[in-house]
């Protein structure tokens, strides 16, 4: 009587394990999204309500746009801790320009310039100054918030042009403009990172910076471009944030946005060490974060415990990354 033994040396068993490993590696964030979505639906029937779904998308749109920029930075092997402070500084400058000129166009251009310049300074410190991204952006975080506080004398600033609020508060059908902007930005950043030479260079630098240098990639220029583009995306988020309430608080606007953005990026599968991750992963990471926040609100979980949950999610996500 012949015995058939299946073990790890069996080609069929090995192929099956390889396929499962590949599926988990490529689609783990989507699988996690579906599991969390179904669990939320089971736990609270109100979750599936269309208004609630649109509310989730609206709530994550600003962080989602910031997280797209954070993804590019982390793919290059860096990190940006200044996004929340830069966002409030951009918001303050936007409202100042709006009130001074009465022109929405001038306000938007001002926002894009201020955010891009802040990102450019971050990139310059990292690429040319050889300062660790953690330190460089930590300094920018303190400086940008401080300038915003100084300009507003520690208070808030309100817009005087009512049409400015239409950016964040109008809708196309049932879908609010911020949601549409978030989806459009996701598509554009996806094309940039997965279909262009710039995106390939970012992945190459994040994977092995020395090898990228030997491959004649202008690493310094790419890094400056990475941080500048991240600042540009922060500007877009700041415009929406300022438009939503028609005001900006220098002390509370943008607080802990860097934590939410980093959480979404890590949930989406982007490695802290750079070189590996996908924009679509960040997109689903943002949605997962939105669902979790929404469920905690529906279940009346204390706001003071929500930060604990986010921190726990970061740790679990990093542990799973190390096991891949």
Per-residue pLDDT tens over the stretch 130-187: 999 999 999 999 999 999 999 999 899 998 888 899 999 998 888 999 999 999 999 9
Residue-level pLDDT at 238: 96
Place of tokens 């690493």: 219
Q: How many residues does the chain have?
A: 324
Residue-level pLDDT at 5: 46
Q: Using an 8 Å Cβ cutoff, are 234 and 89 in contact?
A: no
Which tokens go with 321?
């990354």
| pTM attached to this predicted model | 0.90
Cα torsion 140, 146, 150, 156: sign: positive
**Distance between CA 224 and CA 203 in Å, rounded?**
15
pLDDT, one tens digit for every residue, the chain (324 residues)? 444 444 545 666 666 666 666 666 677 888 888 988 998 888 888 888 999 999 999 999 999 999 999 999 999 999 999 999 999 999 999 999 999 999 999 999 999 999 999 999 999 999 999 999 999 999 999 999 999 999 999 899 998 888 899 999 998 888 999 999 999 999 999 999 999 999 999 999 999 999 999 998 999 999 999 999 999 999 999 999 999 989 999 889 989 899 999 989 998 989 888 888 999 999 999 999 999 888 888 888 787 787 787 778 778 777 766 555
Domain ranges of the chain: 54-256
Residue-level pLDDT at 20: 62
Q: Using an 8 Å Cβ cutoff, are 86 and 146 in contact?
A: no
- Helix extents (H) in the chain: 11-43, 50-75, 83-101, 104-127, 133-152, 166-169, 177-195, 197-207, 209-214, 219-245, 257-267, 279-298, 303-323
**Distance between CA 89 and CA 250 in Å, rounded?**
8
Residue-level pLDDT at 1: 44
Residue-level pLDDT at 16: 67
């Amino acid at each position: 009587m012949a015995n058939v033994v299946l073990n790890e040396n069996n080609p069929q068993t090995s192929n099956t394990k390889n396929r499962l490993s590949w599926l988990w590696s490529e689609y783990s964030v989507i699988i996690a999204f579906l599991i969390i979505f179904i669990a939320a639906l089971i736990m609270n029937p109100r979750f599936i309500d269309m208004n609630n779904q649109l509310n989730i998308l609206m709530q994550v749109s600003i962080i989602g746009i910031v997280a797209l920029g954070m993804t590019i930075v982390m793919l290059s092997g860096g990190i940006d801790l200044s996004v929340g402070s830069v966002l409030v500084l951009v918001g303050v400058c936007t409202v100042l320009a709006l009130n001074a000129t009465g022109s929405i166009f001038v306000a938007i251009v001002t926002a894009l310039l201020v955010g891009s310049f802040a990102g450019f300074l971050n990139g310059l410190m990292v690429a040319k100054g050889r300062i660790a991204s953690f330190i460089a952006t930590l300094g920018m975080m303190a400086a940008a918030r401080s300038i915003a506080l100084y300009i507003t004398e520690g208070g808030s600033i309100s817009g005087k042009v009512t049409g400015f609020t239409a950016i964040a508060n109008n809708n196309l059908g049932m879908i609010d403009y911020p949601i549409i902007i978030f989806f459009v930005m996701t598509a554009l950043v996806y094309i940039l990172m997965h279909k262009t030479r710039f995106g390939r260079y970012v992945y190459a630098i994040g994977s092995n910076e020395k090898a990228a240098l030997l491959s004649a990639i202008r690493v310094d220029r790419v890094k400056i471009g990475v941080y500048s583009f991240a600042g540009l995306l922060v500007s877009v988020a700041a415009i929406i944030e300022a438009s939503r309430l028609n005001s900006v608080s220098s002390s509370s606007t943008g607080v802990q946005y860097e934590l939410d953005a980093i959480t979404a990026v890590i949930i989406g599968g982007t490695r802290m060490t750079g070189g590996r991750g996908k924009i679509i992963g960040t997109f689903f990471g943002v949605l997962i974060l939105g669902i979790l926040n929404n469920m905690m609100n529906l279940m009346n979980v204390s706001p003071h415990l929500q930060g604990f949950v986010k921190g726990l999610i970061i740790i679990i996500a990093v542990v799973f990354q190390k096991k891949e």
